[in-house]
Structure 1
Amino acid sequence: MEINALTWIITISVIVALLLFDYIFHVRKAHIPSIREAAIWSAIYVGIALVFGLVFFLFGDTQHAIEYYSGYITEKALSVDNLFVFLVIMASFQVPREYQQKVLLFGITFALISRTVFILAGAAIISAWSDVFYLFGLALLLIAGGQLKGELAADEKEKDEADNFLVRFAKRVLPASDRYDGDKLFTRENGKRLMTPMLLVMVSIGLTDVLFAFDSIPAIYGLTQDPYIVFTATAFSLMGLRQLFFLIDGLLDRLVYLSYGLSAILGFIGVKLILHALHDNNLPFINGGENVPVVTIETSTSLMVIVGILIVTVFASLYSPKGRALVALQNAEKFSHRYSKLDDSASAEERQAAEEKMDRWTREAEKVSQHFRDELLDHKDSYSEIIRTAHETRVATAQAEGRDVPTISNSIVKNEGPKV
Structure 2
Amino acid sequence: MDITPLVWIITIAVTIAFFVYEFFAHVRTPHEPTIAESARWSAFYIGLALIFGVVIGFVPGWGWVFAGEYFAGYLTEKALSIDNLFVFLIIMTGFAVPKKYQQKVLMIGIVIALIMRGAFIAIGAALIDNFSWIFYIFGALLLFLAYRQAFSHGDSDPANGKFMRFVRRHLPVTDEYNSDKLTVKKNGKRFVTPMLLVIIAIGFIDLVFAVDSIPAIYGLTNEAYIVFTANAFALMGLRQLFFLIGGLLERLVYLAQGLAVILAFIGVKLVFHALHVNELPFINGGEPLLWVPEIPIWFSLLFIAATVAVATIASLRKTRGDRAKGDREQVQGEEITTASDAD
User: Could you tell me the TM-score, scaled by structure 1's length?
Assistant: 0.77
Within a 5 Å distance, the mapping from 1:36-55 to structure 2 comes to 36-55=36-55
Specify the alignment match of 1:310 in structure 2. Answer: 308
Within a 5 Å distance, the mapping from 1:160-309 to structure 2 comes to 161-292=158-289, 293-309=291-307
Structure 1, residues 274-321: CA drift from partner, whole Å, max 9, x if none?
0000001111111111111211101111001100111111111122xx
What CA distance in whole angstroms lies between the structure 1 residues aligned with 2:145 and 2:201? 21
What CA distance in whole angstroms lies between the structure 2 residues aligned with 1:46 and 1:410? 46
Specify the alignment match of 2:129 in structure 1. Answer: 127
What CA distance in whole angstroms lies between the structure 2 residues aligned with 1:175 and 1:13? 38
Shift in Å, 1:166: 4.1
Specify the alignment match of 1:325 in structure 2. Answer: 321
What CA distance in whole angstroms lies between the structure 1 residues aligned with 2:226 and 2:335? 51
Secondary structure of 1:39's counterpart equals helix
- Percent identical among aligned pairs is 53
Asked if 2 retains the 8 angstrom alpha-carbon contact of 1:78 and 1:216, the reply is: yes
Specify the alignment match of 1:84 in structure 2. Answer: 86
What CA distance in whole angstroms lies between the structure 2 residues aligned with 1:413 and 1:294? 64
Shift in Å, 1:71: 0.3
Secondary structure of 2:155's counterpart equals helix
Specify the alignment match of 1:396 in structure 2. Answer: none
Match of 1:93 among 84, 92, 95: 95
What CA distance in whole angstroms lies between the structure 1 residues aligned with 2:335 and 2:146? 37
Secondary structure of 2:247's counterpart equals coil
Secondary structure of 1:54's counterpart equals helix
Within a 5 Å distance, the mapping from 1:101-140 to structure 2 comes to 101-140=103-142
Asked if 2 retains the 8 angstrom alpha-carbon contact of 1:366 and 1:411, the reply is: no
Shift in Å, 1:249: 0.4
Shift in Å, 1:155: 1.4
Asked if 2 retains the 8 angstrom alpha-carbon contact of 1:69 and 1:303, the reply is: yes
Choose 1 or 2 for highest CA Rg.
Answer: 1
2:321 alignment partner AA: A
Shift in Å, 1:33: 0.5
What CA distance in whole angstroms lies between the structure 2 residues aligned with 1:409 and 1:165? 44
Asked if 2 retains the 8 angstrom alpha-carbon contact of 1:30 and 1:99, the reply is: yes
Specify the alignment match of 2:147 in structure 1. Answer: 145
Asked if 2 retains the 8 angstrom alpha-carbon contact of 1:45 and 1:239, the reply is: yes
1:365 alignment partner AA: G
Secondary structure of 1:187's counterpart equals strand
What CA distance in whole angstroms lies between the structure 1 residues aligned with 2:233 and 2:118? 12
Secondary structure of 1:100's counterpart equals helix
Aligned pairs, number:
334
| Aligned CA distance change for structure 1 residues 107 and 313 (closer, same or farther; 3 Å) | same
Shift in Å, 1:253: 1.4
What CA distance in whole angstroms lies between the structure 1 residues aligned with 2:86 and 2:322? 17
Specify the alignment match of 1:10 in structure 2. Answer: 10
Within a 5 Å distance, the mapping from 1:340-379 to structure 2 comes to 365-367=326-328
Structure 1, residues 63-91: CA drift from partner, whole Å, max 9, x if none?
11111111000000000011111111111
Mapped pair 1:73 → 2:75: yes
Asked if 2 retains the 8 angstrom alpha-carbon contact of 1:365 and 1:412, the reply is: no
What CA distance in whole angstroms lies between the structure 2 residues aligned with 1:413 and 1:53? 59
Secondary structure of 2:172's counterpart equals coil
Shift in Å, 1:4: 0.5
Asked if 2 retains the 8 angstrom alpha-carbon contact of 1:254 and 1:326, the reply is: no
Asked if 2 retains the 8 angstrom alpha-carbon contact of 1:30 and 1:98, the reply is: yes
Asked if 2 retains the 8 angstrom alpha-carbon contact of 1:77 and 1:262, the reply is: yes
Shift in Å, 1:256: 1.4
Between 59-68 and 215-224, the greater mean CA deviation after superposition: 59-68
Shift in Å, 1:121: 0.4
| Aligned CA distance change for structure 1 residues 188 and 286 (closer, same or farther; 3 Å) | same
1:181 alignment partner AA: N
| Aligned CA distance change for structure 1 residues 326 and 35 (closer, same or farther; 3 Å) | farther
Shift in Å, 1:164: 4.0
Give the gaps of 5 or more residues in structure 2: 338-343
Structure 1, residues 343-368: CA drift from partner, whole Å, max 9, x if none?
xxxxxxxxxxxxxxxxxxxxx63336
Shift in Å, 1:411: 6.4
| Aligned CA distance change for structure 1 residues 245 and 327 (closer, same or farther; 3 Å) | farther
Shift in Å, 1:327: 4.4
Structure 1, residues 188-230: CA drift from partner, whole Å, max 9, x if none?
2223221110011001100110011111000000000111100
Asked if 2 retains the 8 angstrom alpha-carbon contact of 1:164 and 1:204, the reply is: no
* RMSD of aligned Cα (Å): 1.8
